[in-house]
Amino acid sequence: MLLTDLVVVFLIGSVAALAYWKYVFPTGRILPGLYAIRTHNNGMPMGNLFLLQIDDNDYYIAIDTGGDTAETETGLRRLGISSDSVVAVFITHSHWDHIGALRLFDNAIIYTGNTENNAFPGLSHHAMADGEIIEFSDISVQCIYTPGHTVDHVCYLVNEKMLFAGDLFITINDSPFEERYNKAMQLEYRKIVLGLDGVDYVFTGHFGLFKDARLYRWWFLS
């Protein structure tokens, strides 16, 4: 590898590290009824587990599970939330850092997108159709198919206002990291979800929250 290539890799890694530490949610409350648990992968903070409280009761739904079971358990204890109180888990896609702690949620119904890639062998789960909505008292969760990062990747629109985007926005368009994925397909789905009306918050699997869709459009679609 040439020296210039090493410099580029170092700079990309440094920027990513700073972004992770600055923007990934620490374990705790984000909004009323919404919590995050920060987990790590190879020492980098991920923060890709979200919990939504149902109707101000002690029951929750989870978006992804985090990759490290011990860290997810620790995070649940810090929040005072029992894994048994999680009644449903919505998986954005089948990468390890999003499903690694699935075994903690034995009482939950598991929801996924397209599973034709057999990412969940032996696991009882409900494969949601594109546009399908699941209701939990005061919470509605709509599945939006967004393949590209993986063939089974989906986003979840909660109460038509909060979009949980998984890894649809994991990097900007021209990052070398995305050469591993279908960049053209991801770009098209980014345009679709950023065109949704009424979305107040976009939560990502690795870069926290953006409240201004215009910034998202500039950063990810330009």
Q: Rounded CA gap, 15 and 8, in Å?
A: 11
Interstrand relation of 86-90 and 60-63 (parallel, antiparallel or unpaired)? parallel
Predicted local distance difference test score (pLDDT) of residue 155 = 95
167, pLDDT greater than 70: yes
What was the pLDDT predicted at 176? 46
Its domain, for residue 47, covers 3-221
CATH code (residue 139): 3.60.15.10
8 A C-beta contact, residue 131 and residue 143 = yes
Q: List Cβ neighbours of 5 (8 Å cut-off, separation of 6 or more).
A: none
How confident is the prediction for the chain on average, in pLDDT?
Answer: 80
Among 127, 88, 122, CA closest to 108: 88
pTM: 0.82
**What domain count does the chain have?**
1
